[in-house]
């Protein structure tokens, strides 16, 4: 049996993941809207044999656009333009089950899977930004539980649409004049609480059968959802211990549902500051932290905790008593993570801000290439990760450092591929291609 | 003043526009799902200096998929992948105001405009296929008038979102740390009958300011809508006389609304069968017509007229008395066009089917390159067209013939560009770039 290897994505973010990265000479803010910049990144990531590029999304303007490049290019169009200039690397885009219609979303991802010859992945989110509701005629953001209930039905509908054509439905037989065997194309006739969708999809089945299901929820609802549907999970942990607990919990849940644990890749975020010595790495991080603007950071913190700390002394201890741990604001996973940092490290407000500036709550690791590789291996071999969503603090500088200095070490250790073996994202992740259920199975489950 | 020149799009359709084209050796049905096929077409059209490629769409599976490649790849993703391998040609995609949310659609087109550096066009449709309603939880397809009312509000909202960032809102000033001047980004606070959208868009203003507005309605509602919003109109006419009447009507309506008539390009569809002699051209058309399958054609006819003529003698006169001209089915423009053919030509059922097979009711012209060029010039100089949506009967064979034999004649006559002058689709069409209204203007119109 071949050695188990890491799955590694590049999470692409304008400027880079450190909140002040766009101000640092390692990034070029003038190219943040230029597709050529992202195409260069995707080609570079493909040359380095990454599994996929990953794009976040949310259908609202962030309230901190004044201090950083926090616009949101639409991921499906953007990834299609990356797919056109690459051949192997996976293309994972985020899209919301709360603010899309399933028929439209099923088509967008099916087209991306066709045009990329099987490289599409859907990062399924329910959207945490309350501002989004106001862009879609909703007075209030739907509560967490309702969003997940809709998400479950949404994912079921989209899956049925992707399966509505058998793989062999297209005959294209010029002689007989039969283009498609319509006995192998079926309406889905879905009628549920949130959606009524007749189908079939108007696009033949895609190279991967279904694009890869990616998910990032960390709440109890989110974990249950992930265990049911996810094939890759993007998750935020500040410590090895926390990641290990999460990993075991998800794999247990997956097994309990009768799925194979190795068919769910758990990929924590990691944002590495890399230097040839640890001192150099720390100096690099300090350069970025010196560019932080507290107005920006405090807005971020308010979005994550509900606390407005404008005017507080940055160098005084963080006012822990103001946080009510029973109250959840914004993203549940980020809230818990911040409470954990407060209780463990007792930081000042400035220290907390710096801690979060690196990658919005994801794990920032500062060290030499050897230390970064050691940390990755440690998580990988000790049940905390199947790979990582790599979040370079700056783009492209931070990605270059990872490719040039960390990947060679991981390769020497046999932990990462030297070349692609397959062609699709499912191939890269080692996931099976879903079969279309037979009409009899569909009837039985109805 | 330079000579007025033709605007010419290539309307891309799997296999080609003749309904049996996929069966003809001039097309390759095995490539109908392959993005490479469409990228080759777009590069070829760009090399020939066409204004744009044009993609139709509808969010439902056509009921005649058995007999032709009538799936629908999603245009925004598909055009993004074409934009990545071309530099100048416009990219026009169809999207429905009935089945999209304005915030999502505004983002998709804004991203396409950014990634193509200003080449996006939106063909605004209200969707005529009743089947679509059943894919979106609606029991019945909304009536024509309601769809247009929603469409008007939809287009207003999308326009406001595209204008919600001033052109100079992004500063990206690393030294001061100010990324965007938030005094130049405004919520739109739209509250109407169909939509409540707060905004702003989460994408900076695009190279064209707004993607080009294209429209294809021919009913009275459709014409009023076109006169208000369209910058290019795709229209179906079987005769010069009909096109001339339409042209005059639209230009009058545009002028009456205070817009400049030359800022609305009227582009009828034309599907040319080209041969080196007229006999050869007719023989080519006959080859395609011999591949027609009556089951397919009768389904098309039923969709356009509501009449089910299965079992009727194909070579008997068309049963004109069965058509009730007061009743409208499907697309109003197609219905009228068929009634006109019946009254003018008194065809048999087979003759009508062949007449419609070429391009679903658009103008099929059969002749030598010189005759095709003469016809185009005749419409162009006599107030029936500002250009054409060219609908090759087969792809790529039919496009090759047009490029190799007709374009050189049009160029010799000074009627078509020898090279692009500008870079954006607005440049190609000679349309102004919309200015963002000042905050005072926005308040006055609220």
Does residue B372 sit at the A interface (CB-CB below 8 Å)? no
Identify the band that residue A320 occupies on the pLDDT scale cut at 50, 70 and 90: confident
Could A78 and B179 be called an inter-chain contact, meaning their C-beta atoms sit closer than 8 Å? no
Arithmetic mean of pLDDT, A6-19: 95
Measured between CB atoms, which of A23, A58, A198 is closest to B134? A198
Cβ atoms within 10 Å, residue B323? 17
The residue written with tokens 């050189």 in the block is B408
Q: Answer yes or no: is A324 a known binding residue.
A: no
Could A197 and B84 be called an inter-chain contact, meaning their C-beta atoms sit closer than 8 Å? no
Residue B444 has pLDDT above 70, yes or no: no
Identify the band that residue B194 occupies on the pLDDT scale cut at 50, 70 and 90: very high
Cβ atoms within 10 Å, residue A348? 16
Residue A143 has pLDDT above 90, yes or no: no
By residue range, what is the domain housing residue A76?
7-280+362-445
Arithmetic mean of pLDDT, B100-107: 98
pLDDT at position A332, please? 65
pLDDT at position B146, please? 87
Rounded Cα distance between A179 and A167, Å, is 14
Q: Is A278 helix (H, G, I), strand (E, B) or coil?
A: helix
pLDDT at position B361, please? 84
What are the pLDDT digits (tens) for A156-214? Answer: 999 999 999 999 999 999 999 999 999 999 999 999 999 999 999 999 999 999 999 99
Strand-pair category, B196-197 with B190-191:
antiparallel
Name the minimum distance, in Å, from the CA of A269 to any CA of chain B. 24
- The answer to whether residue A251 is domain-embedded is yes
Name the minimum distance, in Å, from the CA of A383 to any CA of chain B. 38
Higher pLDDT, B440 or A35: A35
Higher pLDDT, A14 or A170: A170
Higher pLDDT, A2 or A345: A345
Identify the band that residue B330 occupies on the pLDDT scale cut at 50, 70 and 90: low
Could B202 and A114 be called an inter-chain contact, meaning their C-beta atoms sit closer than 8 Å? no
Arithmetic mean of pLDDT, B94-98: 96
- The answer to whether residue A96 is domain-embedded is yes
Q: Answer yes or no: is B313 a known binding residue.
A: no
- Number of domains, chain B: 1
Longest dimension (CA), chain A: 80
Does residue A103 sit at the B interface (CB-CB below 8 Å)? yes
Strand-pair category, A190-191 with A196-197:
antiparallel
Interface of A with B in 157-196 (CB under 8 A): 170, 172, 174, 177-182, 185, 195-196
Name the minimum distance, in Å, from the CA of A402 to any CA of chain B. 24
Helix/strand/coil (H, E, C) string of chain B? CCCCCCEEEEEECCCCCCCCHHHCCCECHHHCCCHHHHHHHHHHHHHCCCCEEEECCCCCCCCCCCCCCCCCCCHHHHHHHHHCCCCCCEEEEEEECCCCCHHHHHHHHHHHHHHCCCCEEEEEECCCCHHHHCCCCCCCCCCHHHHHHHHHHHHHHHHHHHCCECCCCEEEECCCCEEECHHHECCCCEECCCCEECCCCCCCCECCECCEEEECCCCHHHHHHHHHHCCEEEECCCCHHHHHHHHHHHHHHHHHCCCCHHHCEEEEEEEEEECCCHHHHHHHHHHHHCCCCHHHHHHHHHHHHCCCCCCCCCCCECCHHHCCCCCCCCCHHHHHHHHHHHHHHCCEHHHHHHHHHCCCCCEEEEECHHHHHHHHHHHHHCCCCCEEEECCCCCEHHHHHHHHHHHHHHHHCCCCCCCCCCCCHHHHHCCCCCCCCCHHHHHHHC
Q: Is A89 helix (H, G, I), strand (E, B) or coil?
A: coil
Contacts of A22 in chain B (CB under 8 A): 172, 174, 179
Test mutation, B135, B195, B204, B288, chain A, max A CBs within 10 A: B135
Longest dimension (CA), chain B: 80
Rounded Cα distance between A387 and A403, Å, is 15
Measured between CB atoms, which of A71, A112, A201 is closest to B77? A112
What size, in residues, is chain B? 446
Helix/strand/coil (H, E, C) string of A207-224? CCECCEEEECCCCHHHHH
Contacts of B71 in chain A (CB under 8 A): 202-204
- The answer to whether residue A336 is domain-embedded is no
Could B29 and A81 be called an inter-chain contact, meaning their C-beta atoms sit closer than 8 Å? no
pTM for this model (two decimals): 0.96
Residue of chain B nearest A194, judged by CA positions: B137
Structure tokens at A355: 């801690």
Q: Which of A322-326, B129-133, B292-296, B425-429 has the highest mean pLDDT?
A: B425-429
Test mutation, A81, A130, A207, A291, chain B, max B CBs within 10 A: A81
The residue written with tokens 């003043």 in the block is B1
Q: Answer yes or no: is B144 a known binding residue.
A: yes
Q: Name beta bridge partners: A213.
A: A122
Least confident of B5-14, B177-186, B215-224, B284-293: B215-224
Name the minimum distance, in Å, from the CA of B197 to any CA of chain A. 4
Contacts of A196 in chain B (CB under 8 A): 134, 137
Higher pLDDT, B325 or A141: A141
The residue written with tokens 């399958």 in the block is B293
Structure tokens at A198: 């007749």
Arithmetic mean of pLDDT, B349-376: 93
The residue written with tokens 């397959």 in the block is A422
Contacts of B137 in chain A (CB under 8 A): 195-197
Residue of chain A nearest B292, judged by CA positions: A177
Test mutation, A57, A68, A202, A291, chain B, max B CBs within 10 A: A202
The residue written with tokens 């899209």 in the block is A95
Does residue A332 sit at the B interface (CB-CB below 8 Å)? no
- The answer to whether residue B329 is domain-embedded is no
**Residue B184: which residues within 8 A CB-CB, separation 6 or more?**
B165, B166, B168, B169
Identify the band that residue B156 occupies on the pLDDT scale cut at 50, 70 and 90: very high
pLDDT at position A340, please? 87
Angle at B356 between CA B350 and CA B361, to 5 degrees: 155
Test mutation, B20, B21, B134, B202, chain A, max A CBs within 10 A: B202
Q: What is the phi/psi pair of residue A329, to 5°?
A: -120, 150
Identify the band that residue A144 occupies on the pLDDT scale cut at 50, 70 and 90: confident
Interface of A with B in 239-278 (CB under 8 A): none
Question: Is the separation of the CB atoms in A171 and A180 below 8 Å?
Answer: yes
Does residue A202 sit at the B interface (CB-CB below 8 Å)? yes
Could B174 and A201 be called an inter-chain contact, meaning their C-beta atoms sit closer than 8 Å? no
Cβ atoms within 10 Å, residue B144? 18
The residue written with tokens 């479950």 in the block is A152
Could A136 and B197 be called an inter-chain contact, meaning their C-beta atoms sit closer than 8 Å? yes
Rounded Cα distance between A408 and A373, Å, is 9
Contacts of A104 in chain B (CB under 8 A): 59, 99-100, 104
Could B203 and A73 be called an inter-chain contact, meaning their C-beta atoms sit closer than 8 Å? yes
Residue B125 has pLDDT above 70, yes or no: yes
Question: Is the separation of the CB atoms in A53 and A41 below 8 Å?
Answer: yes
Measured between CB atoms, which of A66, A85, A172 is closest to B29? A172
Does residue B56 sit at the A interface (CB-CB below 8 Å)? no
Angle at A67 between CA A65 and CA A72, to 5 degrees: 30
Q: What is the phi/psi pair of residue A229, to 5°?
A: -115, -35
- The answer to whether residue B358 is domain-embedded is no
Could B136 and A177 be called an inter-chain contact, meaning their C-beta atoms sit closer than 8 Å? no
Contacts of A174 in chain B (CB under 8 A): 22-24, 29
Determine what percent of chain A is predicted with pLDDT higher than 70.
95
What are the pLDDT digits (tens) for A379-399? Answer: 999 999 999 999 999 999 999
pLDDT at position A387, please? 98
Could A66 and B112 be called an inter-chain contact, meaning their C-beta atoms sit closer than 8 Å? no
- The answer to whether residue B162 is domain-embedded is yes
Residue of chain A nearest B112, judged by CA positions: A77
Residue of chain B nearest A177, judged by CA positions: B67
Strand-pair category, B120-125 with B212-215:
parallel
- The answer to whether residue A346 is domain-embedded is no
pLDDT at position B326, please? 55
CATH number at residue A48: 3.20.20.30
- The answer to whether residue A326 is domain-embedded is no
Test mutation, B179, B290, B293, chain A, max A CBs within 10 A: B179
Question: Is the separation of the CB atoms in A144 and A220 below 8 Å?
Answer: no
Interface of A with B in 139-158 (CB under 8 A): none
pLDDT at position A327, please? 52
Does residue A211 sit at the B interface (CB-CB below 8 Å)? no
Q: Answer yes or no: is A429 a known binding residue.
A: no
Measured between CB atoms, which of B39, B101, B110 is closest to A99? B101
Could A76 and B76 be called an inter-chain contact, meaning their C-beta atoms sit closer than 8 Å? yes
Cβ atoms within 10 Å, residue A383? 15
Test mutation, A76, A179, A205, chain B, max B CBs within 10 A: A179
For B4, how many CA atoms within 13 A lie in the half-sphere containing its CB?
11
Residue of chain B nearest A33, judged by CA positions: B114
Does residue B290 sit at the A interface (CB-CB below 8 Å)? no
């Amino acid at each position: 049996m071949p050695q188990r290897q890491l799955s590694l994505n590049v999470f692409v973010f304008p400027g880079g993941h450190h909140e002040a990265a766009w101000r640092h000479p390692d990034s070029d803010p003038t190219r943040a809207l230029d597709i050529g910049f992202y195409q260069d990144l995707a080609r570079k990531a493909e040359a380095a044999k990454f599994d996929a590029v990953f794009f976040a999304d949310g259908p609202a303007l962030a309230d901190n656009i004044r201090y950083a490049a926090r616009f949101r290019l639409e991921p499906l169009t953007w990834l299609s333009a990356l797919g056109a200039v690459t051949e192997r690397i996976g293309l994972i885009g985020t899209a919301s089950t709360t603010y899309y219609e399933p028929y439209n979303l099923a088509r967008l991802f099916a087209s991306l899977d066709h045009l990329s010859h099987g490289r599409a992945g859907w990062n399924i989110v329910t959207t945490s930004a309350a501002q989004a509701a106001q862009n879609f005629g909703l007075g209030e953001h739907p509560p967490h539980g309702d969003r997940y209930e809709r998400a479950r039905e949404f994912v079921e509908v989209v899956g049925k649409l992707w399966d509505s054509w058998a793989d062999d439905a297209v005959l294209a037989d010029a002689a007989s004049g039969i283009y498609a065997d319509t006995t192998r194309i079926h309406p889905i006739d879905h009628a549920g609480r949130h959606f009524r969708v007749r189908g079939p999809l108007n696009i033949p089945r895609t190279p991967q059968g279904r694009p890869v299901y990616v998910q990032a929820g960390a709440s109890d609802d989110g974990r249950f959802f992930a265990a049911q549907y996810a094939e890759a999970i993007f998750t935020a942990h500040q410590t090895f211990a926390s990641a290990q607990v999460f990993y075991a919990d998800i794999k247990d849940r997956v097994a309990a549902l009768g799925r194979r644990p190795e068919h769910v890749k758990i990929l924590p975020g990691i944002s590495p500051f890399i230097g040839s010595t640890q001192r150099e790495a720390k100096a690099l991080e300090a350069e970025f932290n010196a560019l932080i603007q507290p107005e920006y950071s405090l807005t971020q913190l308010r979005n994550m905790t509900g606390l407005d700390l404008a005017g507080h002394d940055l160098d005084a201890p963080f006012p822990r008593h103001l946080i009510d741990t029973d109250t959840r604001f914004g993203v549940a996973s980020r809230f818990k993570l911040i409470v954990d940092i407060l209780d463990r490290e007792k930081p000042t407000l400035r220290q907390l801000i710096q801690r979060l500036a690196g990658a919005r709550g994801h794990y920032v690791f500062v060290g030499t290439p050897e230390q970064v590789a050691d940390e990755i291996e440690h998580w990988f071999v000790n049940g905390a990760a199947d790979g990582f969503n790599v979040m370079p603090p700056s783009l492209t500088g931070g990605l270059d450092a990872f490719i040039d200095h960390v990947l060679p070490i991981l390769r020497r250790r046999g932990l990462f591929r030297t070349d692609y073996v397959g062609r699709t994202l499912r191939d890269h992740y080692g996931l099976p291609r879903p079969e279309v259920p037979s009409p009899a199975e569909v009837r039985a489950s109805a």
